[in-house]
Chains A and B, each alone.
Chain A
């Protein structure tokens, strides 16, 4: 049981791959944080894993089955994708938005029924937005919108969740709300992949990390091992230092160059 990538290579322009032979695996119950500088291929990797892009080389395996062999509907029953923003142009309500998550479970001409509404309501309760169900989406704050999108993915009832920078553009309290929800979902048994620019997310909330640079995997595994100052410096191009106690690292921070201050 896993969502795995084997030797993924993806190029927008032929000959210039943004992902080069990337392999990884997420199992139910764990979080894998994808780290890497802007343009390192994190989002592309996430989209390949979600079946939104077809890699030129390599395969994505869902419990051993190549994802391209699944119908879009069957894929969506197994893998839910949470974008940073929803581009709903109309003033749909939060409840409507979450109900959209039921799409892979419904026939082409059918509408969500009582049971689907029940599931949407449960998903909303799980992210703590049940009080906002009838509000139009665009009246919500950034943090609430992010939670609503996660609720939509939960209504999808997929065992694997792909999150594109779930903590981006949020204040510390909302970052904490979203990431502790992610942690709780993993404990419930979901397999979660999340891109992030916060190297400390894995140290605080638990999970493995994968460090990406220019489409290549610099390291993956336990954050204490992967997030070494050398590896981070290689990835981001600036010096880092590790803050920790005897039990291990607690945070990584940029190191100021004394000569320049």
Chain B
């Protein structure tokens, strides 16, 4: 990627954007390293570094390699996925308030997870059914949208309908769930969080993240074009609808893969792309990697707060809401004060 960047860098503005983008991409790595030290058992560098090299005391080694490293990796991937899917969706829907949940992915994943909990399908079952439910919901919204012309507004409307319908189904499952064990389980899952994440959960997430993030990065210039009006993009020879559904498919894959591991985590997919755009500009060549880095960094940070701030864990969705809303308000007010052209 580095040589590719060098070819397009000319103006100082683009140099600055490329440097910032690089910094944001590197950001998650020190955070990931730091999170290996944090937790109920504080570790020193003398414990962590040997453990990473496969040496040292077995208990600490398994704590670092089997508990903290998979969890931190999952946090980084979930953050990157939600942020990049949000960035891509904001572009193709021409709307700053859109995130990847607009087509009902989270509602579908929530229903899948709730069903898995009621059916006692185990952790793997939760992940699989949540993933499937997320894909099914967004797939249904996209299908309805396409069946009624495939325009943007129809898609958004289909997403709203699917969201409501799956929320109602989720309510039904909750109503019939055992109120002492299953109902709290569903409620906690819907609040999001990464306790008890194992490599077994991280590997499929990592594979799907690599596919989705990689392809969206390769499509970055086309994403720029898709943020124009449909008529303009079509006049420039773009197969607009086909490309739009491809991007929706990739964004949904990323979101469903993330949500099936972390539960519902809001706001990251909405705010991080805005912050990234303010830093590196609207060109998706920079925006996609910058969103990935910033999203991964933010979620690592929040997950570290979630698991260390209090004696018990705070659900992630609550943290992202408490911190995300004021940040979003600040970003938006600043944009309005600057006048026009949100970025």
Contact = CB atoms under 8 A, between A and B. Distances in A.
Interface of A: 47, 50, 52, 71-77, 80-81, 83, 86-92, 96, 100-101, 103-104, 106, 108-114, 117, 134, 136-139, 156
Interface residues of B, number: 37
B227 A90 contact: yes
B282 A100 contact: no
Given A90-B91, A90-B277, A90-B282, A72 B237 contact: yes
Contacts of B234: 52, 72
Contacts of B8: 111, 117
A100 to B, nearest CB: 6
B227 A88 contact: yes
Contacts of B232: 81, 83, 86-87
A76 B224 contact: no
Nearest to B95: A89
Interface string B232-244: 1011111100000
13 contacts: A50-B235, A71-B237, A72-B237, A76-B236, A83-B229, A83-B235, A89-B342, A90-B341, A100-B228, A108-B219, A111-B4, A137-B341, A138-B341
B227 A134 contact: no
B250 to A, nearest CB: 13
Contacts of B11: 134
Contacts of A138: 340-341
B205 interface: no
Contacts, number: 93
Contacts of B334: none
Interface in B253-281: 277, 281
Q: Which of B10, B219, B225, B238 has the most CB of A within 10 A?
A: B238
Instruction: Name the 7 nearest CB pairs between A and B, nearest first.
Output: A76-B237, A90-B282, A138-B341, A104-B237, A81-B235, A87-B229, A91-B343
B231 interface: yes
B236 to A, nearest CB: 4
B206 to A, nearest CB: 23
Contacts of B282: 90-92
Highest count of chain A CB atoms <10 Å: which of B95, B218, B285: B218
Given A90-B341, A90-B342, 15 more contacts: A52-B231, A72-B238, A81-B232, A89-B94, A89-B96, A89-B227, A91-B281, A91-B343, A100-B225, A100-B236, A109-B218, A111-B285, A112-B221, A113-B7, A134-B13
Contacts of A137: 341
- Which of A72, A75, A76, A114 is packed against the most chain B CB atoms within 10 Å? A72
Nearest to A80: B235
Could you tell me the dominant secondary structure of chain B's interface residues?
loop
Contacts of A88: 227-228
A77 B238 CA distance: 11
Contacts of B4: 111
Contact of A76 (B227, B229, B235, B340): B235
B116 to A, nearest CB: 37
B57 interface: no
B7 A114 contact: yes
A108 B222 CA distance: 7
Interface string B118-149: 00000000000000000000000000000000
A52 B343 contact: no
A47 B231 contact: yes
A218 B232 CA distance: 30
B283 interface: yes
A88 B11 CA distance: 22
**Which one of A90, A113, A136 has the greatest number of beta carbons of chain B within 10 Å?**
A90
A84 to B, nearest CB: 11
B7 A100 contact: no
A104 B97 CA distance: 30
A90 B228 CA distance: 9
Interface in B51-77: none
